[in-house]
Amino acid sequence: MLTSHDFKGVYIDPSWSPFEWLLEVVSVADRKYHKEISMRNKSMRQFKTGLLGSERNSLNHTQFKKLKHHNKRTLSHSPSTSKNPIVIQQAGPDPPPDMPKEFKNIIMAKEFKNIIIAKNGSDVKLVIQKKLYKTDMLGRFARLSIPKGQMIAEFLSEEEQMSLQQKKEDGVHYKGMEVQLIQPSLKECSISLKKWQQGGNNSYMLSSPWNKIAENNGLEVGDIIQLWSFRVNHSPCLILIKL
């Protein structure tokens, strides 16, 4: 159930239509739900690790079957009391596939397709592998959300994270920073990276020109994407890959 706390820090445009208001409510509910699932999965993994590490010898076959069944139910049902269970599926292949060779060439090589780029990138990390939702693709929102609860690795330094805390003069919106992005098409552009707070959840988001990038690369709702990071001269850069 949503509460007023879940909407703390959410920007509401007075010009929105009732449908757009409904979409934002759905977006907040979706993020809250996935956060609860992530926390529940983490608790279950810790529980299983403790059992396997210290109590496995004391559990008989029947008890292991019960534990497995309990875990399956946890992953397959909504935390609400809905009569119709919602099956939670892994967002893309698990484990996540490695970065394609052509993107590695751009990061590391000094020459790519006869173009001297000399990036000499370092500190390559997979930031997130996620499914694109309607709220990522609606032109009205114009942003790709990067929920911290779903991130595989933090890619910003403490100083960079602090810089994203700075707000604009309106005291509501965050200033953000420009980073270089290599698109699925292998073309490179600059994109705005910002902090995004929805209720008590802190996230990042890629904003302008996200709509144009999504259109030019044929991205659609339901696509699985990866976002990788690397550094050039200590500055963060990103790679967007469509699986």
Decide which of 21 and 229 is more confident: 229
Any domain includes 83: no
| 164 and 130 assigned to the same domain | yes
The answer to whether residues 118 and 169 belong to one domain is yes
Q: Does residue 14 have a cis bond before it (omega within 30 degrees)?
A: no
Range of the domain at 144: 101-242
How many whole angstroms separate alpha carbon 94 and alpha carbon 230?
Answer: 22
Same domain (yes/no): 130, 238: yes
* 159-163, 169-173, 209-213: least confident range: 169-173
183 shares its domain with 226: yes
In terms of pLDDT, which residue wins out, 56 or 212? Answer: 212
* Residue 205 CB neighbours (<10 A): 21
**Any idea what DSSP says for residue 58?**
G
The answer to whether residue 65 is domain-embedded is: yes
Per-residue pLDDT, 109: 62
* pLDDT at site 105: 87
Regarding whether 217 and 123 lie in a shared domain, the answer is: yes
Q: What is the pLDDT of residue 4?
A: 66
Query: Looking at the domain assignment, is residue 94 inside a domain?
Result: no
Q: Is residue 171 part of a domain?
A: yes
Mean pLDDT of 127-138: 94
- Of 32, 61, 76, the position where a domain reaches its end is 76
Shared domain check, 60 and 132 = no
Count of domains forming the chain: 2
Q: Are both 118 and 166 inside the same structural domain?
A: yes
The predicted structure's pLDDT at residue 76: 42
Question: Can you give the pTM of this predicted structure?
Answer: 0.61
Query: What pLDDT is recorded for position 80?
Result: 40
